[in-house]
Amino acid sequence: MTALSAAPAVLVAAADPWNRELLGQLVLSVRCDAAVEYCEDGDQAVQACRLRAFGLVLAEQELAGTDGIDLLRHLRRSRRGAGAPDFILISAKADAASVRAVLPLAPSAYLVKPFNAEDLRQRLRSLLLEPGQEVSCAVPRGLTGSLAEFLAEARDAAEGAPLLAAVGEAASRCLSCEGASLEQMEEEFGRDPQITACLIAAANSAARHVGMPCLTLAQALARLGLAQACNLVLGLSLEHAAQLAEPRLKERAAAFWALSQRTADAAQALAESLDVDAPRCYTAGLLHCLGDLAVLRTLEEWCRRGGALEDQEIDDSLKAFGASFGSTLRARWRLPLELRGLVAACYGMGSGVFSRKALVLNLAARAARLPASQSGLLKEEKALRMLGLGPMELQLLQKFCGAEEPSAS
């Protein structure tokens, strides 16, 4: 096996934060030892290149200030010969004239949006690895401080929830199938809270936001398009700790996934019976355990770094941090305020005037958490009375009871 070359320095310049994250994740999936620096506009990228010699630059053409072509031109003028970095230009322009205009600057590749992420990964392998080379990065060790301190520090930068099994394979199927449809993708990924939340957030990012905000996966897919959505899902599947390995964490995650799905299904069924917006209610129900799942993913990282973890510590961590991880993620990803409000309704109503959708979510979450033996308690719920529901709606909700509640916030 060929010896691994020195860790590369890579610059990623893209206006949209989700695209930046995707490009960086693709680089790290090939070279986990790469030092990746991110810029959101061309002027930042030019300054970064003045301060550091990058071996590879991935840049969108459509950058504020100095655009991608001018960035490439700057690098070709300032660093010639062996000092010139490889440069992948990503552009929305597919016409022959645009491509010809760039050729004299000799980019390593010219990719047209939406590009195929798996194809880009293979191109990155050719640029960052010699034939026969493999990359393997040791898990960082040496924890300092308590588990609570680790969780508190990780909260603001948490990557979100782990993914349901086989998500990566499903993303690859979408990327390789020319006949795939948005409907098929919604069917593939519509049960995964992390993918649903991230695609909604990506569709509502400033770079794409036009018109009304997207509040459901179907709306997000329609705005993103099949290729870009598949790319983002593949990027999510490549993140570290996207899949849990510790058996106790996997067991608790399975319980939260099941609770999320029961809540989503109950909210959808009740909303349909009341002629309320069922897709939005389903989405909010699916996302309401996102924080608890994110805590489990962070605990997986604690274990990977050599930290010990007792069963009681897992449950205590979920109670102490589940709610705050969830609210931090929803705010950082800038999920629409209406969706955040519906998620919050799953946990309580407080006082004030409530929408019918919020009351539906509150009832659905309550039903999903009740064991079947206690389903009769639903008739005492305030939201039931406020919606004026009768025996038929009560029986409908009781169908979604039955499982014990996992330890949660």
Q: How far apart are CA 300 and CA 257, in angstroms?
A: 17
pLDDT exceeds cutoff 70 at 271: yes
Q: In this predicted structure, what is the pLDDT of residue 403?
A: 59
Within-domain flag for 134: no
109 DSSP β-pair partners: 88
pLDDT exceeds cutoff 80 at 371: yes
Pair (178, 314) in one structural domain: no
Mean pLDDT for the chain overall:
90
Q: In this predicted structure, what is the pLDDT of residue 1?
A: 40
Residue spans of alpha helices (H) in 225-336: 226-238, 247-274, 278-287, 290-304, 311-332
Q: H-helix or E-strand containing 5? A: none
Range of the domain at 44: 9-128
Q: In this predicted structure, what is the pLDDT of residue 279?
A: 97
* C-beta separation of 193 from 6 below 8 A: no
Whole-angstrom Cα Rg for the chain: 24
Dihedral over Cα of 4, 8, 13, 18: its sign: positive
Band (2; pLDDT cuts 50, 70, 90)? very low
- What are the tokens at 144? 């300092």
The domain tally of the chain equals: 3
Q: In this predicted structure, what is the pLDDT of residue 101?
A: 87
Average pLDDT over residues 114-123: 91
* C-beta separation of 99 from 73 below 8 A: no
DSSP readout, 7-29? Answer: PPEEEEE-SSHHHHHHHHHHHHH
Pair (319, 372) in one structural domain: yes
Q: How far apart are CA 303 and CA 84, in angstroms?
A: 41
pLDDT tens digits, 77-112: 887 665 789 999 999 998 888 889 899 999 999 999
Pair (385, 256) in one structural domain: yes
Within-domain flag for 140: no
Three-class SS of residue 275? coil
Pair (206, 271) in one structural domain: no
Those residues whose C-beta lies under 8 Å from the C-beta of residue 248, and which sit 6 or more positions away, are: 309, 311, 314
pLDDT tens digits, 289-298: 999 999 999 9
Those residues whose C-beta lies under 8 Å from the C-beta of residue 145, and which sit 6 or more positions away, are: 153
Pair (58, 93) in one structural domain: yes
Within-domain flag for 86: yes
CATH number at residue 29: 3.40.50.2300
Within-domain flag for 102: yes
Those residues whose C-beta lies under 8 Å from the C-beta of residue 169, and which sit 6 or more positions away, are: none
pLDDT exceeds cutoff 70 at 375: yes
Which of 238, 260, 276 lies at the terminal end of a domain, its last residue? Answer: 238
Within-domain flag for 4: no
Burial 116-141 (b: 16+ CB within 10 A, else e): bbbebbebbbebbbeeeeebeeeeee
DSSP readout, 151-201? Answer: HHHHHTT---PPPPTTHHHHHHHHHH-TT--HHHHHHHHTT-HHHHHHHHH
Those residues whose C-beta lies under 8 Å from the C-beta of residue 402, and which sit 6 or more positions away, are: 371, 372
Which of these, 282, 283, 290, 284, lies nearest to 326 by C-alpha position? 290
Q: How far apart are CA 124 and CA 121, in angstroms?
A: 5
Which of 238, 256, 287 lies at the terminal end of a domain, its last residue? Answer: 238
Within-domain flag for 117: yes
Within-domain flag for 139: no
pLDDT exceeds cutoff 90 at 179: no
pLDDT tens digits, 307-365: 999 999 999 999 999 999 999 999 999 999 999 999 999 998 776 668 999 999 999 99
pLDDT tens digits, 154-177: 999 999 999 998 776 777 677 665
Pair (191, 305) in one structural domain: no
Q: In this predicted structure, what is the pLDDT of residue 136?
A: 80
| Cα-to-chain-centroid distance, residue 341 | 20
Question: Packing angle between helix 182-189 and helix 167-176, nearest 10 degrees?
Answer: 170
- What are the tokens at 2? 């060929």
CATH number at residue 337: 1.10.3210
pLDDT tens digits, 209-238: 677 899 999 999 999 998 899 899 989 998
pLDDT exceeds cutoff 90 at 69: yes
Pair (35, 109) in one structural domain: yes
Pair (233, 271) in one structural domain: no
Q: How far apart are CA 342 and CA 189, in angstroms?
A: 21
pLDDT > 70 in the chain, percent: 92
**For the whole model, what pTM was predicted?**
0.91
Q: How far apart are CA 313 and CA 249, in angstroms?
A: 11
Within-domain flag for 210: yes
pLDDT exceeds cutoff 50 at 189: yes
Q: In this predicted structure, what is the pLDDT of residue 388?
A: 92
More confident residue, 324 or 241: 324
Q: In this predicted structure, what is the pLDDT of residue 218?
A: 96
Those residues whose C-beta lies under 8 Å from the C-beta of residue 29, and which sit 6 or more positions away, are: 121, 238
